[in-house]
Amino acid sequence: MSRDAVTSGVGADGKPLECPAPVSLRREVRFAAPIALTVMGAMMPATVVIPVIRPFVAAGWPGQEWVFHAFMAINLLGACVVGPALAVWADRTGRRRALAGALALLDAAMVGLVALKPPLAVMLGLRFVQGAASVGAVSILMGAARGRTSGSAATGMIGSAVVLALVIGIPLGAILGKSSPSLPLFVGAVLGGLAGLAAFVVVPEGSSSRLSGRDVWSAPGVKLPVVVVGLERFSVGAFTVTLQLFAFHVLALPDGTVSRWFSIFLVTFALATVPLTRVGDRIDRRTLVVVGAFIYAAMFFSILVLSARWIPVSLALGGLASAAIYGPSLSLVTQAVPSEARGSAMGLLNAAGTFGMFAGNVIAGLVATALLSQGSDRATAYSAVFVVAGVSQLISALLGVLARRQA
């Protein structure tokens, strides 16, 4: 019997946490696989657009530099502010199937309308709604995957699905974008629509939750995974663009090389999430988070001294470290609340990750710009960003150590 099948105490509503009967691994995978595939599909509208943001915005609203940033910022704002509330609403009403399907369809519709290049104000409004609907739908789906199972395989599969959506969606968007910058949006809308229809079938019905979003946040054990996932996404947001700039300007490497580096990182992350989540059945998950955060920090610091030849190896280790943080954190947050409130918990975790990604991008830009404006060379400016990302992971490790001592 896995550790998840043992009661973990009293939940935020004052009742013992629900402990479903243990199920076989095969049965668990059979239950979670359709939901994991639906999660991937529901994320496609957001991921396929990433490679074509610059040409798409330039074609639709030319001559307005700030729109490039607003295109992403307004979407992330909707995801952070409204997305978690939609997941809580689904849990409170118990209508997870209907809301997951409706929100995924709404997400797809918003992307399709944006692809038509409406007036700027309308486009920004559509992007706000799309961000909220996307995080709401994905959070409900992620919470549903653990509703009837006691093991960690389902959680690991959902974590892998989230990463695989990036691994598949970004290259797909790049390929489609060669024909037209709008084509990835239309294809993403179709894939998201199919995921919305699938959600009406794969999401199980369940009882309603009495917990508000504040109750879920206050539940013992929720804060650590939410914060460390936010910090993990912060570090990714900080180094994604910075590594491209560092490789091009400092190491004199072509963009294709950096794309392969990111593929190594993401594929390793996706493949390692399931096994490292299951390792958490035998090793304290907070310990895995601490070890993962230390290794992840070491990856950022190593970029400062490694030659280009060894950076892919460091990124592969970083992918393993990210999986050691993300997979166990998903299990921790689902264990901390009753099964009927897991969508709400996933909403908080996804909102933290989205905000972390946004903040990482902003902080990286501010740090690099400030140093460059003061006369520092590019190597120094970009290295400072890697240091900031590494320090954020040392903070995660410290939080994990403190949580272990308090447990």
What distances in angstroms separate CA 107 from CA 37, 46, 102, 128, 334, one per listed residue? 17, 9, 9, 10, 25
Is 65's pLDDT higher than 80?
no
Among residues 392, 48, 401, 9, the alpha carbon closest in space to that of 232 is found at 392
pLDDT for residue 146: 60
Phi, psi of 10 (to 5 degrees): -105, 135
pLDDT for residue 406: 81
pLDDT in tens, 187-242: 999 999 999 999 999 998 778 888 888 888 988 889 999 999 999 999 988 888 78
Q: Span 309-329, mean pLDDT? A: 93
Q: Span 359-363, mean pLDDT? A: 86
Phi, psi of 328 (to 5 degrees): -60, -30
Lowest-confidence pick of 203-207, 301-305, 317-321, 384-388: 203-207
* Most confident of the ranges 68-82, 91-105, 152-166: 91-105
What percent of the chain shows pLDDT beyond 90?
A: 45
Q: What is the mean pLDDT of the chain?
A: 86
What distances in angstroms separate CA 44 from CA 15, 38, 132, 225, one per listed residue? 38, 10, 15, 25
pLDDT for residue 20: 44
CB atoms near residue 395 (< 10 Å):
16
* Tokens, residue 364: 């990286």
Structural domains in the chain plus CATH codes: 26-208 (1.20.1250.20), 209-407 (1.20.1250.20)
pLDDT in tens, 373-400: 999 898 999 999 999 999 999 999 999 9
pLDDT in tens, 127-179: 999 999 999 999 999 888 765 544 577 788 888 888 899 889 988 988 898 89
pLDDT in tens, 251-267: 888 877 887 888 889 88
Is 3's pLDDT higher than 50?
no
Contacts with 74 (C-beta within 8 Å, 6 or more apart), sequence order: 124, 127, 128, 131
Is 361's pLDDT higher than 70?
yes
Is 7's pLDDT higher than 60?
no
Rg (CA), the chain: 20
Is there a contact between 139 and 347 (Cβ–Cβ < 8 Å)? yes
Question: pTM for this one?
Answer: 0.81
